[in-house]
Structure 1
């Protein structure tokens, strides 16, 4: 078989493997020599096929680490407040959530100040791993005053939207979110939770959610895999 024909066949075999989930989003592919042996072609042929997939946005090459399947990228529409579940469904994906913690505790001084509550007032803390089609995207931590969120204490928030449950069970609809983004790197604990290496870049989104009238009812901190999240905003230059 000519080299060009072998490259095309290898490319199609890799596309088929990606389509059927043999290599999950964000996963590292086997080494080029391993793929070459698997498909019965040269490493040059494999490399040509991999480069084509990279040009199409299906794969990413990380210097010194190898080839990775491009992850599902979450992007927020400009100036639109969307929940994680809404972002997933808008892309035809299934939102998932695994609850790591859900308990009542005293608020810290900083939390009480942001929420406008008394120092050490009780809050509900919810920590979840969020994903799309079983692919982990972020670690999501939410804090709400117990005075308004008591109806959520015993609710199973696995694979459910916190915004939706807050509206349905507590009668509170978040109308506005003050949102800030900063860059960090994953420590050992966060890296294990997100399935990345220690030192992996993460984007941290911090929000304060307000109901109508300007009352703050939710503090959120979300650690996104740096390769899975894109933030967009409309910026206007004053006259």
Structure 2
């Protein structure tokens, strides 16, 4: 009877710990994409053993609320963003649709001559002026995407003089440059994160990332930018409607 009582008590402790952590996650005590305190500190604050804590954390991981890194500890699953099927949205529009706040930190911005490959993709003369823009995009302060864009300055005059921190590129092109984005030729592939990208996205080097590459066109069919977006694989999904030809 003593053994059974101990097992019942242990199970009750795990359940109670699980419920307390679930409530803390629901309240936002641990932000999406953020790391939980170390197991020793977290177990101490909850007044339970590390064995009990790990079982509770394991249940939350099975539900997709947490994930574990063998080297860095436990993390809250990041909010997953993605375009609705067949709908072109900017990163900021995706965030707003989910009640999240989009932020961007400028990693680099410079006006330069287009390369031969860029000129061919964008339908401009080699060495025509383009804006090269690199940004770290975040949702509610959680890094989600490294965005590298090349924009045709002949179409987006004055864009290189603007501060694009925390601004939607699509909205800025429309309201500041008079360009309305109509469509995008978009592809997605998987890669392993290199060390600089992993550091920016707060993931481990070699962890999977999703690479979205696009050429974006205005209403009159002119290509205005090429982009390469590197997303954390746990924070982005791509959807599309597919049709069979008859």
**Structure 1 and Structure 2 fold alike (TM over 0.5):** yes
Moved more, 8-17 or 150-159: 8-17
Equivalence for 2:66: 59
Matches for 1:120-135 after TM superposition, within 5 Å? 120-135=127-142
Equivalence for 1:145: 152
What is the alpha-carbon distance in structure 1 between the residues aligned to residue 70 and residue 111 of structure 2?
45
Equivalence for 1:50: 57
What is the alpha-carbon distance in structure 1 between the residues aligned to residue 108 and residue 161 of structure 2?
12
Q: Offset of 1:92 from its aligned partner? A: 0.4
Moved more, 210-219 or 81-90: 210-219
**Counterpart contact for 2:116–2:127, Cα < 8 Å:** yes
What is the alpha-carbon distance in structure 1 between the residues aligned to residue 196 and residue 70 of structure 2?
25
Q: Secondary structure at the match of 1:149?
A: coil
2:104 to 93, 97, 105: 97
**Counterpart contact for 1:96–1:159, Cα < 8 Å:** yes
What is the alpha-carbon distance in structure 1 between the residues aligned to residue 139 and residue 49 of structure 2?
35
What is the alpha-carbon distance in structure 1 between the residues aligned to residue 11 and residue 191 of structure 2?
43
Structure 1 residue ranges, 4+ long, deviating more than 3 angstroms after superposition? 19-24, 27-38, 61-67
What is the alpha-carbon distance in structure 2 between the residues aligned to residue 88 and residue 59 of structure 1?
21
- RMSD, matched Cα: 2.1
Q: Secondary structure at the match of 2:157?
A: helix
Moved more, 177-186 or 34-43: 34-43
Structure 1 gaps of 5+ residues are none
Structure 2 gaps of 5+ residues are 1-7
Give me the TM-score of the superposition, normalised by structure 1.
0.91
**Counterpart contact for 2:34–2:142, Cα < 8 Å:** no
Q: Offset of 1:19 from its aligned partner? A: 4.0
Q: Secondary structure at the match of 1:179?
A: strand
Give me the TM-score of the superposition, normalised by structure 2.
0.88
What is the alpha-carbon distance in structure 1 between the residues aligned to residue 185 and residue 154 of structure 2?
21
1:118 to 122, 125, 132: 125
Which digits, 9 at most, give the CA deviation of each residue in 1:208-238, with x for residues without a partner?
0111232101111111111111111112233
What is the alpha-carbon distance in structure 2 between the residues aligned to residue 147 and residue 64 of structure 1?
48
**Counterpart contact for 1:124–1:149, Cα < 8 Å:** no
2:184 to 162, 165, 177: 177
